[in-house]
């Protein structure tokens, strides 16, 4: 639990209703708040009205748009929720950081011809614990007893 209290949290995809469009990913910066010991992407879908054509993890050296000039992260392609049966599901992908990795990573996909409700969140567990909410990427931290 302590590791999650100190995690950096970032938006991967703002909640959207996409129909036949490519999602616009929000880059997660591995150079800010790190170094990270591990990073996880959580993708949640609501209604998937038509089969998605792709949903994968990508990386890039600079913070320009992640919709072009990216490299696919090996093993980072989701096998689901690509089909209409992927309604109301949560999928997780873990990104290994033990080898070479580009600075910015993201989740990108293309919706099918029907409405697709989707959002994504990144969680980075730092090797060195952050000192503030700003470093964690959150507005407020509550500690319950």
Element (H, E) at 110: strand 104-110
Question: Tell me, what's the pLDDT at 121?
Answer: 93
* Distance in angstroms (rounded) separating the CA atoms of residues 126 and 103: 15
The string of pLDDT tens digits covering residues 96-137 is 786 788 889 998 888 878 777 888 999 988 776 666 777 777
Q: Angle at CA 108, nearest 5°, toward 141 and 63?
A: 70
Measured from the Cβ of residue 130, the count of other Cβ atoms closer than 10 Å reads 18
Residue 95 in this model has a pLDDT that exceeds 80: yes
Domain residue spans in the chain?
A: 2-128
Q: How far is CA 25 from CA 37, 45, 61, 80, 132, in A?
A: 23, 15, 15, 18, 25
* Distance in angstroms (rounded) separating the CA atoms of residues 85 and 60: 31
Q: Domain 2-128 maps to which CATH number in 3.30.9.10, 2.60.40.420, 2.60.120.1110, 3.30.70.360? A: 2.60.120.1110
* Distance in angstroms (rounded) separating the CA atoms of residues 136 and 2: 13
Question: Tell me, what's the pLDDT at 42?
Answer: 92
* Distance in angstroms (rounded) separating the CA atoms of residues 130 and 5: 10
**Residue 85, SS3 per DSSP:** helix
Question: Tell me, what's the pLDDT at 145?
Answer: 43
């Amino acid at each position: 639990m302590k590791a999650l209290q100190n995690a950096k949290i970032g938006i991967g995809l703002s909640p959207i209703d996409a129909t036949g469009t490519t999602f616009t990913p929000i880059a997660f910066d591995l150079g800010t708040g790190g170094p990270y010991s591990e990073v996880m992407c959580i993708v949640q879908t609501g209604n998937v009205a038509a089969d998605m054509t792709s949903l994968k993890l990508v990386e890039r050296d600079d913070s320009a748009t992640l919709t072009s000039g990216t490299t696919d992260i090996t093993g980072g392609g989701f096998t689901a929720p690509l089909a209409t049966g992927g309604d109301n599901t949560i999928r997780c992908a873990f990104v290994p950081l033990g080898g070479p990795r580009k600075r910015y990573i993201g989740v990108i996909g293309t919706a099918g011809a029907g409405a697709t409700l989707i959002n994504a969140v990144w969680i980075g567990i730092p090797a060195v614990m952050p000192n503030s909410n700003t470093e964690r990427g959150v507005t407020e931290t509550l500690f319950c007893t």
